[in-house]
Amino acid sequence: MKFIVTENYEAMSRTAARVISGYVSSHPDCVLGLATGSTPIGLYRCLVEDCEAGALSFKDVTSFNLDEYRGLDPQHDQSYRYFMEHNLFSHVDIDPARTHVPDGACPDADAACAAYEQAIAEAGGLGLQLLGLGHNGHIGFNEPAPEFPKETHCVALTESTINANSRLFDSADDVPREAYTMGIGTIMAAKEILVVANGADKADIVRRAFFGPVTPEVPASILQFHPNVTVVVDKEAAALCQ
Ligand code: F6R
């Protein structure tokens, strides 16, 4: 595991963007796994700048996002599809037909998840997977659990996640109760993994995930077993790692 400590959020974003742009430049027709959340917004901005400067192209890239709320239309401003359009896809030259986010509007959960796994397999599997890190060690919507879920599946959101997300919706009743997420097995099958985390509030989980015991109670800890992981954090998030 490569563990890179940067000065601040901007430096973390630029460093992580360099990992992605390096990967895309050397594998122009690669399959990228992408994440939403507040952490990657800065790195997506850097990728957009690189594209605008003509230094990077997503022309032949295929993408698969980690997760999506179940029951939200792609046009909903809290859907992860909307987030990706807004923060990356509409600003770069990626072919919209090659961008994939689990279909939150599909009422048949089993069919939606199976179709997603199949689409990833048909694309040749994930090349580089980008991950953010939840405060409890979740990656995607894979929350602490007695075991590591393998494939794309439907999860019931915890009360704390629903409450945390309610600030983004008109009311708590509007927050989706379920989500589709890649499984830990799906993520671990990626050829390379890039994790980003910033801020003092992530310091404890960064230490537990990357320097603590591997356990499904800290889902990100499984990444210690992946052969090609780069973790890019700011110094606040690294504060508890020696
Ligand atoms: C997002 C995702 C989540 C986030 C995690 C961290 O697609 O799958 O696991 O990466 O919740 O979120 P932020 O970056 O907002 O702290």
> Rounded mean pLDDT of 101-116?
93
50 is a catalytic site residue = no
Which protein residue has the closest C-alpha to ligand 1 atom 12?
A: 37
Annotated active-site residue 138? The verdict is yes
Q: Please calculate the CA angle 90-93-97 and round it to the nearest 5 degrees.
A: 75
pTM score, whole prediction = 0.97
Phi, psi of 99 (to 5 degrees): -95, 130
Residue type, 114: A
149 within ligand 1 shell (Cβ under 6 A):
no
Structure-block tokens of residue 195? 């994790």
Q: CB-based contacts of 102: which residues, under 8 Å, 6+ apart?
A: 65, 67, 68, 112, 113, 116, 152, 180, 181
- Determine which one of 10, 49, 117, 136 is catalytic: 136
Q: Give the pLDDT band of residue 174 (cuts 50, 70, 90).
A: confident
Residue 75, Cβ density class (10 Å: 0-12 exposed, 13-18 middle, ≥19 buried): exposed
**Which pLDDT band holds residue 165 (cuts at 50, 70, 90)?**
confident
Characterise 124 by phi-psi region: left (phi > 0), alpha (psi -120 to 50), beta (else). left
Burial readout 176-214 (b: 16 or more C-beta within 10 A, e: otherwise): beebbbbbbebbbbbbbbbbbbbeeebbebbbbbbebee
pLDDT digit string, tens, across residues 180-236:
999 999 999 999 999 999 999 999 999 999 999 999 999 999 999 999 999 999 999
**Fold adopted by 10-221:** Rossmann fold (3.40.50)
